[in-house]
Structure formats: C-alpha cells, structure tokens
Structure 1
Amino acid sequence: MVCRSGCGACCIAPAITQPFYGMPAGKPAGVRCVHLEDDLRCALFGQPERPACCGRFLAEPAFCGDSREEALRILTDLEAESLPA
C-alpha cells in the first residue's frame, strides 16, 4: 500500500516515548507531531533526524483502513490497547 496523501494519522495517533529532534520529551498519543506539515506530510521524511520508529512504520490496510478517519480510529485503538493495564 502506498501512503495516503493528506492523512497524517501515523503522525498523530501513536506516542513516541523517546526524545527526538524538535520534541525532546517525545510525543504523546493523539498529539500532532511538530514536523507534520499543513499538507499532512512529514517534514523529516528521508532525513536522518526522523525517528527510527517512524521509518519502520509501513502503510498497510490493517493500520490505514480506507480513509484518514479510519486510520486515525485504527491507530488510536491500537495505541490504547498497548497501554499497560
């Protein structure tokens, strides 16, 4: 699957627990990454400052669904499931 233009769900829904360029405290779940541009593209894509976890994420129907809204719901639900009980 090719990353959906105008989505950005993977830059909003999941938490990034390690510090990274521009977000020294990491990124909480549900918070827009500071590097997500207005057109919902990553400003760090292809750059060495991009977090490794972002580089490992692959757009797949199981995560991205059929729309931006569905992707946000799926990734938010997955993030909630990963929280300790």
Structure 2
Amino acid sequence: MQCRTNCGACCIAPSISVSLPALPLGKAAGERCPHLDALHRCSLFGQPQRPATCAGFAAEHEVCGDSRAQALTIIATLEVATQS
C-alpha cells in the first residue's frame, strides 16, 4: 500500500520516544509532528535527519484503513493497546 495523499496520521496519532529534529524529547500521542507540511507530508522525508522510527513505517491497510479518519483511529487504538 502507498501512503494516502494528505493523510499524515502516522505523524500525529502515535507517540515517538526517540529524539526528532525540533522535538529532542520525542512527541506525545496525538501531537502533530512539526515536520508535517500543510499537505500532511513529512518535510524530513528522504533526509538523513529523518528518524529510523519514521523511515521504517510502511503503510498497510491494517494500520491505515480506508481513510485518514480510520488511520487516526486505528493508530490511536494501537498506541493505547501497546502502552506499558
């Protein structure tokens, strides 16, 4: 599956515990990554500063669903289910 245009759910819904440029302490779940542009695209895509956590994400129907709204819900649900 290819990333959906104008989505960005994977950059909003999950928490990220690794340091990111502009977010040295990572980001909380539900917090929009400051590296998302106005069209919900990663401004670090293809750049060496892009964290491996982000680069390793692959869009899959089970995670992304059929719409941006579904992706936000699914990823948020997975976030809660995997909290320790």
Amino acid in structure 2 at the alignment position of 1:21: P
* AA at the equivalent of 2:82: S
Post-superposition Cα deviations, 1:42-69, rounded to whole Å, max 9, x if no partner, equal 0000001011110000000000000000
Deviation at 1:79, TM superposition (A): 0.4
1:21 to partner: Cα distance:
1.1
Q: Tell me the CA shift for residue 22 of structure 1.
A: 1.2
Aligned to 1:48: 48
TM-score, normalised relative to structure 1: 0.96
**Which residue of the partner structure matches residue 8 of structure 1?**
8
CA-atom RMSD in angstroms: 0.6
Question: The residue matched to 2:69 in structure 1 has which SS?
Answer: helix
Q: Where does 1:2-81 land on structure 2 (aligned, <5 Å)? A: 2-81=2-81
Runs of 4+ in 1 over 4 A off after TM superposition: none
Q: What are the ranges of 5 or more consecutive residues in structure 1 without an aligned counterpart?
A: none
Where does the alignment leave 5 or more consecutive residues of structure 2 unmatched? none
TM-score, normalised with respect to structure 2: 0.97
Question: How many residue pairs end up in the alignment?
Answer: 84
| Deviation, structure 1 residue 18 | 1.4
Aligned counterparts of 1:4 and 1:18: Cα–Cα separation in 2: 25
